[in-house]
Chains A and B, each alone.
Chain A
Amino acid sequence: MGAGHGHRLHFHGHSPVHRAPAHVKVLTLLGFMLVVVATPREAYAVLAAEAAVLLGVVLLSRVPLTYLLPRMVVELPFVVFAVLMPFISHGPRTEVLGITVSEPGLVAGVALLIKGSIGVLGALTLAATTEPQDLLRGLQRLRMPELLVQIMGFMIRYLDVVTAELGRMMTALRSRGCDPRSPRHWPVLARSLGALFIRSYERGERVHLAMLSRGYDGKLP
């Protein structure tokens, strides 16, 4: 059990970025990302300017980059895809470091990498400076459908419970001589993830019963 503040992505602080209202931050991030996505792929100066703006906000928030960068590993699958693109695309060939690659593929790969990294870093900055509860209230103020806000709230609330449950299952597997990291044991891992899904589903039903018992009728008060 951690104490005090919320989740693992949040970095406690009191900077202007931390204090800004959540709905403003969400809208700003959304607008910023639309601009980034709409930037032509070869306008590197514009992309650099956008990256500089984002880094400026990160500096202002006083969240250390050493905190944000390791959390960018979620981007890894896209990085793999971006690296593959120059090799699997068609079109005129060009030479980079002695390897012949597809030129449009190279441009697309680099653009994907830059835009993806800006997006992930932006999202991480929002997460690092906003408590999940505030984020939900911000979305509510933005008139996001009530049901979606509720679902997100439940996700945040039960993330820890389900992760702890997964942790206990993994410990139980290891105690019986199974190494969840070894590919030989992946079938077992897959089955326990299935079991975790069923357990979470059943917990969902129990939570719903407990809500009904307290007079829940479809909307949170």
Chain B
Amino acid sequence: MERILRNSEAPEIIPCDFSSPLLFYPIRHHSPVCSFQLVRTIEEYKPDIVLIEGPENANGLIPVLTDENTTLPAAFYYFYKDTKKLVSDDAKDYKCYYPFVYSSPEYNALVSAKKLNIPAKFIDLPYCEILIATAENNGLRKNSDKHSYADDSYLVQNRFYEKICEKTGLRSFEEFWEKYFETAGIFLTPQQFIKQMHTYCRFTRDDVSQEEMIADGTSARENHMAVRIIEAMQEYRRVLVVTGGFHCIGLYNLVNSGKKIKSPRLHKMPETHHGCFPMAYSYEAADALHGYSSGMSFPYFYDCAMKKLLESNSPEGVYNGITLDFLVRTQKEAVKKDIAVSIADITSAHTLMNGLAALRNAKECGISELFDGVISTFIKGERTVSTSIPLDILSKLATGDKIGAIGDKSHVPPLITDFEKNCKKLNIKYETAVPKNIENALFTSAKGMETSRFLHRMDFLGTGFAKMLKGPDLHKNKDRSRVREEWKYRRTPNVDACLIDHTTDGFTIEEACSSVAARKLMSERRCETAAQISVDCFLMGIPMQQAELAQIEDILINDGDFFSVGRGMHSFEILYSLQNLYGFEDKSSLAHLTRCFDKLVSSLPSMANTPPERGEECITVMKYMYGIVGNILSERLDDFRQALITMSEAPAKEPSVFGAAMGILYSIEPERRDDAENAMKGYLRGSPEIKKQGAEYLKGLFGTARDIVLIDDRFLRMTDELVQSMDYEDFLEILPSLRLSFSCFTPNEIQSTAEIIAGMYNSDGGDITDMPAVDERLFFFGEKLDREIFALMGKEDMLE
């Protein structure tokens, strides 16, 4: 930077001579002015071939992009699987997009070449070679989940423009670009424009060191592009090279150096390891504001400008017209949202915009003036989140919410075709990037279930297309009584990218899901997770094949974790009981359920001495088992009872698990009540430490047989005796267990229990409930304390 500032003269720039056999045309991605002047340049220069910056392995897809049925935004999606570890030892998968909108100079170059019937080619290294030539954390290997080939970061994130902004009083690169290039550039001749671009880009290049360009692959790429240019010059008379402005000077120097250029050696790659697909893209993703640092912000606005520029005979008034158009659209949308914005406000905003353009010496109003106009006149009062809605509306309008489409479907990956076919069939709006909500009745029509299955499939593939907001959650066994699902869905380029990634998994979404489920099962060893995959398949309506069923069987046999098998059994039970309702015949769930049950029965006695911290989980599994023998596997009741008896006779027992076993045994054979009572008496007569275990015993007992309390007051008296025998400190210690013991009772049962206890102390309960009111401040303090504890627990992920 200092070097640039010290120079009093502008450095040498590339000559712009339309009579020369080679012409370098510098661009900024998605810039209408670059496109507009490029179209004029092609008309005037009349090249024999157009060479464009872009990975050359997409050359075969150029006709797909320029197909008249293709609607932009669209993108080329490049992927590379580094199984050969040519990029790094991590053997990672890589992907990136090369987006095109109507204002993209590359697209306009391709279309112009098609019109003139001359060849157009991409000349950059294939995507995988760029990755190989790039150092870690540089260029396309930066740590980001968003990679765009069309990266303008050198143009927009350089220190040179910061100095210019400082000098000219502009706020950002975008404002600088709009004022000096976008709106002013359309009034220049192509030669003047090219010269101006070269000058700016030359300065930005001076701010980047050779080491940086080697690290991010620029040097290797430019070498390769230079070789391709020289090859083209040997074949064609007039060659037009369209590349990012940053590369022009590098390419110019290489081509004119007269030296032999060392281009990187291209590796032989199997076709399954790298490739390129055309895909629909969204304006939102093409917006530079969303983190790709490629192209321009507000792509839809600039696309509209580009269309107007191509339609009009003169660029005069194009930006004034388009800004007014967006102003009116913003007003209309604001009115729809009940925001009072009148025609007078439009007039006032328009006057203000023109005044600002004049004050800023801009030729016409641009997007900055448009935003300023809306800020001043549409926002009534202080600018806050709620009053800034007109600004949000304008942002959305200018960004655009449309999604493109690929005309020639023969190049579209089959999964995307199937996705679109399903969406069309189920009336799911997939041609917009605007999030949509859908309420889906599951059981009233076949379409409802089909929609649910399709959305579950998209979710299972990890596309991010749909997210269920409400509805039965069979994975967690929650909200099973719901008969409707509410989904939020949205198509983004990531959805397409993810579907492309699954191309090898099948030709349809269903096949892909089936393959993914099978693959997941193959690497699974836990019954619990295998059962969850079964739930996924159930929700997706995809029957498991024999091989997967055998795999589940194998997992069940080999999983030695009692709790994992218990939870897995519960999932299979859910599937078994819901198969009729969901219209999904699943014969395997009963077999899996039985297998799990048998396994649990055999290991139940050994769970008597479960560690205290896992007592609750053990009780839950025992309850699942009791539920199953009472309903589905009644013939196994006796086995279960026997296992419980063996368990209760074990010498060392976890009190809560023991209590639960006694409770279930009492439920099976009510005559065992005395056994349960005697066990409790045993705890009462024990040492203080044993007494404390009585509370745990009650927790387990009441959890599985709460009616034992309600028949008479004997257990309540024993509980009372337990509490009476404790000193204050010990009481506090057992209090959590005691509270949990009573948590399974309904409010009515708690009321009647309280009345029994009050009776034991010769009270009618009134003198207890009519206690003096709590001090209001204390109450609020308690509430505040509660909130803070919950907030803290939430932060620490201690809340479910």
B and A form one assembly:
no
Chain B: residues with CB nearer than 8 A to chain A? none
Chain A: residues with CB nearer than 8 A to chain B? none
